[in-house]
A and B are shown apart, each in its own frame.
Chain A
Amino acid sequence: MKKSEIPQDEGPLKGWTREVCYAKNEDGKYERGLSAGWSVKNDALDSAWEEVNKSVEEALKQVRAGKMSPIFYFMELKLMDVAVLAHYTGFWKWTVKRHFNPFRFKKLSDKVLQKYADVFEVSVEQLKNFK
């Protein structure tokens, strides 16, 4: 890549930073340059987020339909999977999966809910009275 070809496409980096890249100057030598971003990568990031948003929407539907507990929704919202959530809370993976069950969820103690609330950065109230 030539230094003049370093992409300068606006994206999520805007207003935050530019990134270093190495490219060839006019004499064919490597030099450092700064890039504002590259549309190809921005699009890859966008498509990853589209997928995340779809999962979150789907999770919300399932919670509203009474098929899943709010814990499942917040897990998706915070981009976690069962393994990451289990690691953060200190529960076993199978325990976390049991807590996805809305009936079991209703019986959880405040102490257990507090752990989830801390990880999700919400209040216990928000977990209990999910809207």
Chain B
Amino acid sequence: MQEFKHYQAAHCENGVTVGLLKQAGLEQITEPLAFGIGSGLFYIEIPFLKLQSGPAISFRTFPGNIFKRTCKAFDVKLETKKYRDEEKAMYELDALLEQGISVGCQVGVFHLSYYPKQYRFHFNAHNLIVFGREGNDYLVSDPIMEETTTLSRQAMRKVRFAKGVLAPKGHIYYPTSIGEVTDDKLVAAIRTGIKRNCRDMLRIPGGVAGAKGINYTAKNIRKWRDKLGERKAALYLGQIVRMQEEIGTGGGGFRYLYGAFLEEAAAITGKEELLIVSEKITKAGDMWRDSAVQMAGIYKGRLSAQADYNHCADILNQISAVEKEAFLQLDKIKI
């Protein structure tokens, strides 16, 4: 094992994946590669479920998938554990750190003391790496931060055993061994990642997931103002913007990440066609940004007419079409 190097990322799970795999010896891995190989791009609005009393929307695949899939692609053997007993969970973390192993942890952000208060909601799918301990403080590499930080033992216990939806239950994970990484394996990983992402964006039955799911949300947006009243409808739009990334910047960040992945994939595989699809995904990212600006007009109270809601919905319909086209094109490229 090499010494742990902090890796800042746009998204926590990508960052943990890259941080842990680089340490295990996978030098080639970058955030966009992890995101693409893990088939990270997605869209879903889960019907009937409400999160923080707003629509349950996600712009990426389910928590844990990116890490699991990327590890599988490179024959990385993993140890993962969840606990009932808090005492045991803390003891085993300490024991691993003693052995010099850096450990990925799923945590809730509500008690994450180094976070600014404004971000501390009951959100339980955040990921970070613990890479050491000094007395009562754990050394923490939180991928969304520029620098490493520390967390007290007491706080660590609280965040590992946060409660509510997706409760982490002390979940830890770390690679134990890694297969030989060849160029062929890298190409195969990219191929698998792309195929799976095409499936997720194009061929999930029902109308709520993939490119089609964006139209489902658009359809709902048109009804919100009459159904929920102006205040609540505006809050729902705010939620969509907040969900575009947990903390990340500029709406549609996941689309840009995927665009960057396709660009790297084109360089590795030599398939120039991937660059054309990358352009399209970048365009979708720009359109998500535009939609967020339009939605902000509503939740800031500057706009409130039904026509403004329709405008948001129209942009979403266009995004759906662009993403569908991009993935249909991607699906046809032989890698």
Is A21 a contact of B250 with CB atoms below 8 Å? yes
Is B145 a contact of A30 with CB atoms below 8 Å? no
Contact of B110 (CB < 8 Å), options: A12, A20, A44, A79:
A79
Closest to A119 in B: B163
Interface size on B (CB < 8 Å)?
Answer: 49
In the complex, what residues of A have CB within 8 A of residue B8's CB? Answer: 20
In the complex, what residues of A have CB within 8 A of residue B234's CB? Answer: 47
- Chain A 19-30 against B: per-residue CB contact (8 Å), 1 yes, 0 no? 111111000011
Determine which residue in B31, B244, B299 has the highest number of CB atoms from chain A within 10 A of its CB, and name it.
B299
Selecting from B19-27, B74-82, B194-202, B286-294, the interface stretch reads: B286-294
In the complex, what residues of B have CB within 8 A of residue A80's CB? Answer: 122, 164
CA distance A13 to B247 in the complex (A): 9
CB A46 to nearest CB in B, in angstroms, measures 8
CA distance A16 to B238 in the complex (A): 23
Answer whether residue B175 sits at the interface, using C-beta atoms and an 8 A cutoff. Answer: no
Answer whether residue B319 sits at the interface, using C-beta atoms and an 8 A cutoff. Answer: no
Closest to B10 in A: A20
Is A79 a contact of B122 with CB atoms below 8 Å? yes
In the complex, what residues of B have CB within 8 A of residue A29's CB? Answer: 263
Contact of B116 (CB < 8 Å), options: A13, A43, A44, A83:
A13
Answer whether residue A45 sits at the interface, using C-beta atoms and an 8 A cutoff. Answer: yes
CB A53 to nearest CB in B, in angstroms, measures 12
CB B54 to nearest CB in A, in angstroms, measures 8
CB neighbors of A among B197-247 (8 A): 234-235, 238-239, 241-242, 244, 247
Contact of B256 (CB < 8 Å), options: A18, A19, A22, A87:
A22
- Chain A 39-50 against B: per-residue CB contact (8 Å), 1 yes, 0 no? 111011101110
Answer whether residue A35 sits at the interface, using C-beta atoms and an 8 A cutoff. Answer: yes
Answer whether residue A17 sits at the interface, using C-beta atoms and an 8 A cutoff. Answer: yes
Contact of A48 (CB < 8 Å), options: B238, B249, B285:
B238
Is B52 a contact of A17 with CB atoms below 8 Å? no
Closest to B30 in A: A32
Contact of B144 (CB < 8 Å), options: A17, A30, A41:
A17
CA distance A34 to B31 in the complex (A): 15
In the complex, what residues of A have CB within 8 A of residue B145's CB? Answer: 16-17
8 A-B pairs with CB atoms under 8 Å apart are A19-B247, A21-B256, A22-B260, A30-B259, A41-B251, A41-B292, A43-B296, A47-B238
Identify 7 new A-B residue pairs, CB closer than 8 A, beyond the known A6-B249, A16-B145.
A7-B249, A21-B10, A47-B300, A51-B235, A79-B121, A80-B122, A84-B163
Closest 4 interchain pairs by CB? Answer: A87-B163, A30-B260, A35-B249, A12-B118
| A interface, CB within 8 angstroms of B | 1, 6-7, 12-13, 16-24, 29-30, 34-35, 37-41, 43-45, 47-49, 51, 78-80, 83-84, 87-88
